[in-house]
Amino acid sequence: MPSSERSTRDPFRLLIPILLILAIPLAHLTPVGVALMERGWVMAGAGGAFFAIMMMVSGVRVTFAGQADALGTAAWLLMLAYLMHQFEEHGIDLTGRTYHFITYANGVLAELYPDGGPRLTELSIYRINTLLVWVPFLLAIWAGRRFPWVGLAAAGLMLTNSGLHIFQTFTRGEYNPGLATAVVLFLPISLNYFSVSRRYAGTGILSAITAVAFGIAAHAALPFVIEEAAAAEWTSRLAGIFATLALAPLIANILYRMFRRSPS
């Protein structure tokens, strides 16, 4: 196949796993979708990851302006790594336990908030993992070099999450669901994204530090988000919280570009 034809067809092929993955967060819009996906999102995400990996192994590549796009590929790796990480957390962990993260995390939260407070539910896990992970990570694939802060924020979230899993292991002296993928996948893939972004999008060390700071702030807000996300019905307040966290890097990058281009 001529290279020009292949570069034109590859993005359309990669739309297939993107649409498969994006369909799961969209299920939040209907009660039936929530009922089906409240636990089923994990296997659906794993299926989307497997499909995307097979397409890449078969030679499908992310392209930009007709050329192989290293930054787009690095963003895909962020997405795929997180899908596999979520399977270890909420699917089957290394000890063979199924859907054990909710038990483990609620045990930690009970120690931190013994008099009551945030507790994970199946609904809040579904909301947080799809709307606050899948959506911004898919946006990172789309944003690429145009809005590099989106991908940097995703990499910052990933690196911070890895650090949290490792920290829990050292302080508690035990394996926690998600640890293996946090070490084996999150550390190298997030650091690789910073490196690729610096080379192809011209971002620097300050951008990487800001991205990690965003990841730390997002994780610090998790107890508040968990408590809000457990609400049975959507409210304007809940939608605003999720929209702010998911879209903040993109909005900030758009505003930055607008003000940078405006005449003085």
- Model pLDDT, residue 2: 46
User: For residue 9, what pLDDT is reported?
Assistant: 47
pLDDT of residue 205: 95
DSSP state of 152: H
**Whole-number pLDDT of residue 62:** 74
CB 158 within 8 A of CB 189: yes
| In contact, 251 and 147? CB cutoff 8 Å | no
Which mean pLDDT values do the consecutive 10-residue runs of the chain (264 residues) have? 46 62 80 85 89 79 74 93 97 96 97 93 95 94 91 98 97 97 98 96 95 97 96 93 95 92 60
Question: Contact, 154 vs 197, CB < 8 A?
Answer: no
Measuring CA to CA, which residue among 259, 223, 6, 231 is closest to residue 116? 223
Going by the DSSP 8-state scheme, the letter that residue 64 receives in this structure is: E
As a whole number of angstroms, the distance between CA 229 and CA 222 comes to 10
Closest of 152, 143, 141, 13 to residue 83, by C-alpha: 141
List the structure tokens of 1. Answer: 């196949």
| Residue 73 dihedral angles phi and psi, to the nearest 5° | -65, -40
For the whole model, what pTM was predicted?
0.90
